[in-house]
Amino acid sequence: MAVPLRILLILALITGIHSIKTVRQVSVKAGAPVTIPCLYEAKYRNNVKYLCKGYTWASCSYEIKTNTPQNSQKYSISDDKTQTIFTVTIQELADKNTFYWCFVELELGADVGEQFYLSETAGPPSLYVDNQEVTGFIEENITINCNYNSSGEMKWCKMGSNCVTNQSGLIDGTRVTLNTSINNVFSVTLSELRQESSGWYYCVKGDFQMPVHLTVTEKPTVASVHLKSFMIRLSLLILFGFVVLVVLGTLSKSEVYMYLCSTSVF
């Protein structure tokens, strides 16, 4: 069952104004993993971050921290200090409806954090994407499909930036176009990608959000692809030649091994 956004807002007011930003409510299919981004202020770059589970901060339990060994099979955490975003990945939900907190640990005073809510569903989630990690190429376009079965306003937002609510708009200089021609899907197209287009985004439909990470890179050139293919074939041909020589008794196995090590063919 979805928690009304007004209730989550009231909870935020009760717990105070925090320096962490994250999604508020995410629907997840039972057994499926989900990654949640947590944006923090630059002044907390070197602080410990952690995930806490529970309805309130005072009663929540530590699940994983950035300064402890990550031997948990259920949780993982990573901190991108350049982008000032730490992410937590939850492999599966223990409860059908679970409150979590993204927190930054402080030496003095209360830790700062923000709450998010995960709801587990047996069928398709209320809002989901095919893949939370997508890759695009500079000066090209990329389209991401946000699938939904819930009602409410739709948006496409970038973590720490603005949202597009109409058919088109700009986010950090990147053109964003929303298309609703397919039932229960709104497609988001980001045009003429730039390096600055990289980052964490999220679909919004009603009370639900779903995070998506976009990595924008240079497109591999045809020449580099062909060169890599040629080198692989050449290496296999050389290996085959040495195998033939070994079989014929011309070279010993030790000589072949010494030659390969000295030439760094592999």
Boundaries of every domain in the chain: 5-121, 127-217, 222-263
Query: pLDDT digit string (tens) for 78-105?
Result: 999 999 999 999 987 656 789 999 999 9
- State yes or no: pLDDT of 240 exceeds 70: no
Question: Based on the number of CB atoms within 10 Å of its own CB, is 107 exposed (0-12), middle (13-18) or buried (19 or more)?
Answer: exposed
- Supply angle C-alpha 60, 61, 62, rounded to 5: 125
Average pLDDT of the chain is: 84
Query: pLDDT digit string (tens) for 109-133?
Result: 899 999 999 999 988 999 999 999 9
> What is the torsion angle, in degrees rounded to the nearest 10, for the CA atoms of residue 136, residue 146, residue 167 and residue 40?
-70
Q: Using DSSP bridges, classify how beta strands 112-121 and 97-104 pair: parallel, antiparallel or unpaired.
A: antiparallel
Q: What is the pTM of this model?
A: 0.77
Q: How confident is the model at residue 235 (pLDDT cuts 50, 70, 90)?
A: low
CA dist 60 and 56 (Å) reads: 6
Close Cβ partners of 263 (under 8 Å, ≥ 6 residues apart): none
| CATH level 3 topology of 127-217 | Immunoglobulin-like (2.60.40)
DSSP 3: P
CATH code for 5-121? 2.60.40.10
